[in-house]
């Protein structure tokens, strides 16, 4: 058992807890099917997060606020739960109530059994056993002046379970999962934490009788929130809503939830967890400056159209590749015969890796890691940031393939598209592979446009549309070349259904929203300018070079390569802000961070956080 510091002092200063006016109920009967296989041999409340079990954290929080009387409803692996509680919490007045029908019934039966075996001489704190939360939330719960109180949070992607509507600080409607239909809107809803405080009179005269009737005579397979929802419509029994504001909490229903909870409650492991996932960041409550995407696109109108179309889209197959190429060609205003739409630009790397095996190649350093991973024998030319164009042009005839990333993924260095086209024209025996994934944010014209006017067979343009369109989750990109053999080689390895239907639908929408798209690029460029100025003014920053992408490279003062990683971990632990440590990408290993350009509000939040670097971090000295 972990004894949390300050529990005696808090209880002493809390009249309600000191007088013994609170008791707790923990629902721990469930079989936890969704947690399998992790729960096959362990009750899910006894799973460990951050060195402590879920149930242990709940009990510690109750002790912290002075609650010493606890009723626990058991079912699945009841002996394990009892053994844990009796061994770890001998000072708790523990009452165990067993739900023998835990496999067939739902939490309404467990709560009804608890209430049927309790004396309501004190107010009741109700907690479900699969919750992790900051103990400050328990303080807020018992300090709230309302008679009945529910802890709630703004609904976010990834949450599931009962949600509520709130008006004037009170819960007005309760929506269990089975009432959240296809047209249900979460925009103005709040997720219940499944942590409540109920007045003793409310429990004795209203909640317990109705729970008992519903659980025993009407529907034992439903949730207690059904009954709670009925009572909230009665003014005398209304439930106050205490909205969580920044405190950590997590509901652990399945192994994915457990991973998210680990991220929240093990701050020292946050960078490791993010590095292992390499995406899927919607599960984590962070502001992500590591992955670059257009923060102002798609527009709200486009998202509404996609949301409306989604049921039909996911029920159908996408179009064949020639149709996809044609749709993208309309948007790019180019010859679709020179295009191959890609399921993300990364789709082409293994194809070209096989096609270009044994070819002599030069690639920039530093840049997108797939180039060096796929072509480990390539000769590197330096982007410091800044490329020696004269030297690159002079060396180009010595290689079969010259890779140019424009703007470069790591540095933001942006070269002239006209110069690249001219070099390709002057070096016909060398293939120029040009990655323009971030070019839309620069002032440079795309080579696709130049090649429409003056075709060249030794240019291959690769673009990841995820960045400029702001939709990395849809996986959109393309390859373009006037070389029919090369574009045909790529097309020959494209599967029959290569795009998801939502991605194809976005291609159709793009024709209607071109002005909004162009405006989003301009807005991003403006934000980039302001962010560069703000980052450059920080005392520990050595340089923030100009960038043509929607990101900035920030070199720190000093030579310690660990500085960038220390700042990254500090931002994650203290502000839930993620940045990209790119120190290892550069030969000199000078400490560098790459910062994506997000909305101005988010950019300002990052800068403000960086202004508060603690003095014991070398970067702040």
Name the band, by pLDDT with cuts 50, 70 and 90, for residue 618. low
What mean pLDDT is predicted for residues 325-347? 96
Q: How many CA atoms lie within 13 A of 164 on its CB side?
A: 30
Percentage of the chain lying above the pLDDT 90 cut: 74
Are both 81 and 189 inside the same structural domain?
A: yes
Are both 372 and 457 inside the same structural domain?
A: yes
Q: Which stretch of 2-11, 215-224, 349-358, 455-464 has the lowest confidence by average pLDDT?
A: 2-11
The answer as to whether 302 is a domain residue is no
pLDDT for 314-323, tens place per residue? 999 999 999 9
Are both 180 and 227 inside the same structural domain?
A: yes
Are both 208 and 87 inside the same structural domain?
A: yes
The answer as to whether 270 is a domain residue is no
Query: Which pTM was predicted?
Result: 0.82
The answer as to whether 306 is a domain residue is no
Q: What CATH number is attached to the domain comprising 556?
A: 3.90.1150.10
The answer as to whether 274 is a domain residue is no
What mean pLDDT is predicted for residues 284-296? 92
DSSP run (H or E) holding 81: helix 78-88
Confidence (pLDDT) at 65: 94
Q: Judge contact between 462 and 436, C-beta under 8 A.
A: yes
Angle (CA) 69-74-77 rounded to 5° is: 130
Name the band, by pLDDT with cuts 50, 70 and 90, for residue 265. confident
Are both 388 and 251 inside the same structural domain?
A: no
Number of domains, the chain? 3
What distance in Å separates the CA atoms of residue 9 and residue 64, rounded to the nearest whole number? 9
What distance in Å separates the CA atoms of residue 468 and residue 394, rounded to the nearest whole number? 32
Angle (CA) 291-296-300 rounded to 5° is: 120
Boundaries of domain holding 456: 317-510
pLDDT for 497-528, tens place per residue? 999 999 999 999 999 999 999 999 999 999 99
For the record, the structure tokens of 311 come out as 């049921």
The SS3 of residue 480 is strand
DSSP string for 569-605 = HHHHHHH-EE-EE-GGGSTT---EEEEE---HHHHHH
Are both 449 and 586 inside the same structural domain?
A: no
Are both 498 and 395 inside the same structural domain?
A: yes
What mean pLDDT is predicted for residues 539-547? 96
DSSP run (H or E) holding 276: helix 270-277
Are both 525 and 588 inside the same structural domain?
A: yes
Which residues in 401-488 belong to E strands, given as ranges? Answer: 401-405, 431-435, 459-464, 477-481
Q: Is the pLDDT of residue 256 over 50?
A: yes
What distance in Å separates the CA atoms of residue 247 and residue 577, rounded to the nearest whole number? 15
b/e map 106-127, b = 16+ CB within 10 Å = bbbbbbbbbbeebebebbbbbb
What mean pLDDT is predicted for residues 220-235? 86
Name the band, by pLDDT with cuts 50, 70 and 90, for residue 9. very low
Q: Cis (ω within 30 of 0) for the bond into 37?
A: yes
Confidence (pLDDT) at 273: 82
Q: Judge contact between 554 and 594, C-beta under 8 A.
A: yes
Among 456, 489, 510, identify where a domain stops. 510
Are both 241 and 385 inside the same structural domain?
A: no
Are both 323 and 420 inside the same structural domain?
A: yes
Are both 582 and 504 inside the same structural domain?
A: no
Are both 169 and 138 inside the same structural domain?
A: yes
Name the band, by pLDDT with cuts 50, 70 and 90, for residue 16. very low
Q: What CATH number is attached to the domain comprising 420?
A: 3.40.640.10
Average pLDDT, the chain: 91
What distance in Å separates the CA atoms of residue 319 and residue 337, rounded to the nearest whole number? 16
The answer as to whether 206 is a domain residue is yes
The answer as to whether 300 is a domain residue is no
């Amino acid at each position: 058992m972990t004894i949390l510091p300050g529990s005696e002092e808090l209880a002493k200063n809390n009249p309600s807890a000191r007088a013994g006016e609170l008791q707790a109920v923990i629902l721990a009967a469930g079989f936890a099917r969704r947690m399998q296989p992790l729960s096959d041999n362990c009750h899910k409340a006894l799973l460990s997060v951050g060195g402590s079990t879920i149930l242990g954290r709940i009990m510690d929080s109750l002790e912290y606020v002075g609650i010493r009387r606890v009723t626990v409803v058991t079912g699945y692996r009841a002996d394990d739960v009892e053994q844990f509680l009796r061994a770890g919490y001998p000072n708790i007045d523990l009452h165990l109530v067993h739900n023998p029908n835990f496999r067939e019934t739902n939490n309404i039966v467990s709560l009804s059994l608890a209430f049927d075996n309790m004396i309501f001489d004190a107010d009741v704190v109700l907690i479900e056993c699969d919750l992790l939360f900051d103990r400050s939330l328990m303080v807020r719960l018992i300090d709230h002046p309302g008679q009945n109180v529910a802890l709630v949070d703004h609904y976010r992607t990834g949450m599931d379970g009962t949600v509520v509507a709130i008006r004037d600080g009170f819960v007005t409607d309760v929506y269990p999962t089975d009432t959240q239909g296809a047209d249900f809107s979460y925009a103005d809803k709040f997720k219940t934490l499944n942590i409540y405080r109920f007045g003793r009179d409310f429990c004795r005269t209203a909640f317990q009788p109705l729970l008992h009737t519903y659980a025993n005579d009407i529907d034992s397979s439903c949730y207690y929130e059904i009954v709670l929802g009925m009572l909230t419509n009665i003014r005398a029994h209304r439930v106050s809503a205490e909205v969580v504001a920044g405190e950590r909490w997590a509901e652990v229903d399945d192994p994915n939830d457990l991973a998210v909870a680990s991220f929240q409650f093990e701050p020292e492991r946050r960078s490791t967890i993010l590095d292992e996932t390499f995406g899927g960041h919607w599960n984590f409550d962070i502001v992500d400056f590591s992955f670059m995407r257009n923060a102002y696109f798609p527009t709200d109108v486009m998202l509404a159209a996609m949301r409306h179309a989604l049921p039909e889209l996911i029920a159908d197959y996408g179009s064949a590749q020639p149709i996809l190429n044609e749709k993208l060609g309309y948007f790019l205003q180019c010859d679709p015969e020179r295009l191959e739409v890609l399921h993300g630009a990364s789709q082409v790397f293994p194809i070209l890796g096989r096609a270009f095996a044994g070819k002599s190649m030069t690639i920039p350093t530093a840049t997108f890691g797939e180039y060096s991973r796929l072509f480990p024998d390539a000769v590197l030319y330096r982007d410091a940031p800044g490329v020696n164009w004269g030297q690159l042009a002079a060396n180009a005839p010595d290689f079969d393939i010259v890779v140019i990333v424009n703007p470069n993924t790591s540095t933001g260095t942006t070269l002239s598209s006209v110069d690249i086209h001219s070099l390709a024209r002057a070096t016909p025996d060398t293939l120029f592979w040009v990655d323009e994934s971030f070019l839309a944010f620069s002032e440079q014209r795309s080579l696709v446009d130049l090649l429409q006017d003056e075709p060249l067979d030794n240019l291959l343009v690769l673009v990841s549309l995820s960045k400029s369109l702001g939709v990395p989750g849809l996986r959109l990109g393309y390859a373009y070349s006037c070389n029919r053999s090369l574009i045909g080689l790529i097309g020959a390895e494209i599967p029959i259904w290569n795009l998801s239907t939502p991605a194809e639908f976005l291609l159709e929408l793009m024709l209607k929203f071109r002005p909004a798209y162009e405006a989003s690029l301009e807005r991003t460029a403006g934000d980039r300018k302001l962010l560069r100025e703000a980052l450059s003014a920080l005392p520990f920053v050595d340089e923030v070079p100009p960038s043509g992408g929607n990101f900035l490279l920030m070199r720190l003062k000093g030579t310690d390569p660990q500085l960038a990683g220390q700042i990254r971990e500090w931002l994650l632990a203290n502000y839930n802000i993620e940045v990209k440590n790119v120190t290892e990408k550069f030969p000199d290993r000078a400490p560098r961070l790459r910062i994506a350009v997000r909305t101005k509000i988010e950019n300002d939040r990052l800068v403000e956080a960086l202004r508060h670097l603690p003095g014991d971090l070398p970067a702040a000295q």
